[in-house]
Amino acid sequence: MSRGPLDFSGYSGAGGYEGIRRIAAGKSPGDVLEDVKNSGLKGRGGAGFPTGLKWSFVPSGNDAPAQKYLVVNADEMEPGTFKDRLLMEGDPHLLIEGMIIAAYTIQASRAYIFLRGEYTVAAKALARALSEAENNGMLGKNIQGTGFDLDIILHTSAGRYICGEETALLNALEGKRGTPRAKPPFPQVSGLWGKPTIVNNVETLCNLPGILAHGVDWFKSLTLGQDHGTKLFGISGKVNKPGCWELPLGTTIREIIEVHGGGMRDGHTLRAFLPGGGSTDFMLPEYLDIPFDYDDVAKAGSRLATGTMILLDDKTCPVGMIGNLMHFFSHESCGWCTPCRDGLPWIDDIFRDLENGSGKAKDLGILHDHVEYLGPGRTFCALAPGAAAPLGSGLRIFKDEFDNHVRQGCAWKKH
């Protein structure tokens, strides 16, 4: 980050809060909803659900509950992911403006930012920006004469990965244990404190000011692929310039790695990569030329998810990499449902044994069993299926490595 966060005047001066001015000029909540629907904006948190469609499930009209909530999921804890952090540390007013637009659309008079506890720099930036926004009439009562009221409350999380799951987040926000809720009912119907609630990712909301200020067509024109708009893409791994960049959706993976990431470091060859964070399937270099957007990545057998890649090179043990992820997911299981609570620690134990050379052939069978056992629909939420993605694809792609680990432990350790 080359500069500190823009303050209110800096942000406004750069064209910020134009979206709010459009609303003040007479855009109704229905108009904004139509714009967002037409823009084709998809959620940037990982699941890629169309934002406008999600909002349209919130009850509106006279029969709707008076209290509704907007909650920002800023609990960015996906392994390899640091995109929301950049937005909040660098441009907190962008998020605030996005929140005002979203809250206005669903007519929520209170909004929460559920911020990852370790993001202390972002917390400071957001706290300052919130107070500036309030002092400049962007928050509080009757914002810019629209008759719309909004309070935003910044909540810093006590820190669990599972709290990034939107319903676990809501429980944590209510002061309860951070365990996910059954869906249905979805938060749009019964969310925070039982009231209709929209939970959106930071990056998703940061797209809104642009859509309002420059229009749907402009937003649609930004892309190179199927999905509209831009996306923050990131790389961690052995490239020359690891980092995070805003690029059109549909940019090829090769361009992101070779141009923006500066290519692999000398002596390192790309072996495989997790395209969208720790809970996506491994992809092989043969897919480097596909456009990086939701559908194309899905066709290649993985998920765009957060769009922040983790690269595996030829100098790193793939079993160790997966074991590291399994250790993380195992520790972060909330303990609610059986396959995740008791399955992941078993997997974690097996990886430790494989590493130490005390792994057995039957352990690989148990790992294979768990890929299906932890799959989608088996568990209460998406944590375990997320863990099963790198495990399942890894077992397939790195079969020889696993077999070697059973025979002799981790050969990489001797390097």
Binding site for other proteins (CB under 8 A): 160, 162, 177, 181-182, 184-185, 189-190, 193-194, 330-339, 341-346, 349-350, 353, 362, 366, 369, 373, 377-380
Number of Cβ within a 10 Å radius of residue 330: 21
Rg (CA), the chain: 22
Residue whose CB is less far from other proteins, 240 or 358 = 358
Residue whose CB is less far from other proteins, 312 or 367 = 367
Residue whose CB is less far from other proteins, 56 or 67 = 67
Question: Min. distance of Cβ 386 from other proteins in angstroms?
Answer: 15
155 residue type, one letter? H
Question: Min. distance of Cβ 365 from other proteins in angstroms?
Answer: 9
Question: Min. distance of Cβ 13 from other proteins in angstroms?
Answer: 44
Residue whose CB is less far from other proteins, 44 or 160 = 160
366 residue type, one letter? I
Give CA–CA dist 339/216, Å, rounded. 44
Question: Min. distance of Cβ 68 from other proteins in angstroms?
Answer: 14
Question: Min. distance of Cβ 336 from other proteins in angstroms?
Answer: 5
Residue whose CB is less far from other proteins, 13 or 185 = 185
For tokens 């790198």, name the residue: 390
Give CA–CA dist 109/172, Å, rounded. 20
Question: Min. distance of Cβ 192 from other proteins in angstroms?
Answer: 9
Residue whose CB is less far from other proteins, 290 or 350 = 350
Cis omega (within 30 of 0) on the bond before 291?
no
DSSP string, 93-151: HHHHHHHHHHHHHHT-SEEEEEE-TT-HHHHHHHHHHHHHHHHTTSSBSSGGGSS--BE
φ/ψ of residue 342, rounded to 5: -105, -20
CB 142, CB 148: distance < 8 Å: yes
